[in-house]
Structure 1
Amino acid sequence: MEKAREYLGLMTKESETASRLAVRPHHSAGDGPYENFILRGIRVDRVEPGFVSCTFKVPPRLTDASGNLSAGAIASLVDDVGEASVHDEDLPLKVSVDMSISILSTAKANDELEITSRALGQKGGYSGTVILFKNKVTGELIAEGRHSLYGKIPSKI
């Protein structure tokens, strides 16, 4: 601690104040304000290995100035739902490597969407997914996302 004080040039009073700071533990994925903002209201309908199906009623808070589901919200959902289809409980969360999204139509506030994610395959720690957004009433395809992720693979030793 003394070396840190010397390096930072902290006075004793400042150092004592800093040592009394309460440091909150690191949050696990899914419990922060960002996840609550985007994922609030999503209902998971079915989960199987390599497949996730959700229902999502578009909240007004996720619409753009034109009243359509924003591209940023779609990208966030591609990231979260895509990861869910390749998640392994025994391994850390995978990180996004690449994402491609085709927005084919619009969804308005209060439209009910069906979001499905399917794992396309895995090679080592690299996984690929495809995520489809469909209007639940009309069946119209709203967006298609392709999402690749990477995560640690278990050791064979």
Structure 2
Amino acid sequence: MEKVKEFLEVDKEEAERVSRLPVPPHRPGFECSFYEDFALRGIRVDRVEPGFVSCTFKVPPRLTDKSGNLATGAIANLVDEVGGAVVHVEGLPMNVSVDMSISFLGTAKPNDELEITSKVLGKRGGYKGTIVLVRNRETGELIAEGRHSLFGRQASKM
């Protein structure tokens, strides 16, 4: 238990760095929140087809853990965002994540370029399932595989 407590503790320098981050107010629906801007800055959409999205993401140093690897929380965020983007319907509210399962299979370092692909596995009513693969673009190594379940309004059939 002490090791966990020690791992989760933030030292004075880290706390000071976080307290200096500028957090401007935002207008929901009109601009990115601090969280979206911080976590998704640098993601580039390469290809969009019905039921498929492909993105590129260069790992920024700000999203690494104490070992210098892309943080697992950042990977989970990418799975959530790209898995949600593939089922989003313009004009409808974003879908809500119901369940996510992620297998962390490798690591990524700062400046590694990642390829993130998402594909719709199926839909039933307002429920959708996606798979998200995160690969090192240069080596082809699979960094993570995520299964993402979402729920949201359906587009009108009229």
TM-score range, shorter chain: 0.7 to 0.9
Q: Given the superposition, is the C-alpha separation of residues 154 and 114 from structure 1 closer, same or farther in structure 2, using an over 3 Å criterion?
A: closer
Matches within 5 A, 1:1-157: 26-28=27-29, 31-154=32-155
The alignment's TM-score, normalised by the length of structure 1, stands at: 0.80
> Sequence identity, in percent?
69
AA partner of residue 140 (structure 2): G
Root-mean-square deviation over aligned CA pairs: 1.8
Deviations 1:68-93 (A, max 9, x none): 00010011111100011011113211
Q: Given the superposition, is the C-alpha separation of residues 30 and 38 from structure 1 closer, same or farther in structure 2, using an over 3 Å criterion?
A: farther
Maintained 8 Å contact 1:82/1:129: yes
Aligned residues: 134
Q: Given the superposition, is the C-alpha separation of residues 51 and 154 from structure 1 closer, same or farther in structure 2, using an over 3 Å criterion?
A: closer
Segments of structure 2 that go 5 or more residues without pairing to the other structure are: 1-24
1:81 is paired with a residue of what secondary structure? helix
Deviations 1:8-27 (A, max 9, x none): xxxxxxxxxxxxxxxx8850
1:131 is paired with a residue of what secondary structure? strand
Distance 2:103 2:95 in 1: 23
Q: Given the superposition, is the C-alpha separation of residues 115 and 97 from structure 1 closer, same or farther in structure 2, using an over 3 Å criterion?
A: same
* Deviation >3 Å, runs of 4+: 154-157
Maintained 8 Å contact 2:26/2:33: no
Segments of structure 1 that go 5 or more residues without pairing to the other structure are: 1-23
Q: Given the superposition, is the C-alpha separation of residues 30 and 116 from structure 1 closer, same or farther in structure 2, using an over 3 Å criterion?
A: farther
Q: Given the superposition, is the C-alpha separation of residues 135 and 53 from structure 1 closer, same or farther in structure 2, using an over 3 Å criterion?
A: same
Kindly name which structure, 1 or 2, has the bigger radius of gyration based on alpha carbons: 1
Q: Given the superposition, is the C-alpha separation of residues 126 and 140 from structure 1 closer, same or farther in structure 2, using an over 3 Å criterion?
A: same
Maintained 8 Å contact 1:30/1:36: no
AA partner of residue 127 (structure 2): Y
Q: Given the superposition, is the C-alpha separation of residues 30 and 139 from structure 1 closer, same or farther in structure 2, using an over 3 Å criterion?
A: farther
Maintained 8 Å contact 1:67/1:109: yes
AA partner of residue 147 (structure 2): R
Distance 1:132 1:114 in 2: 8
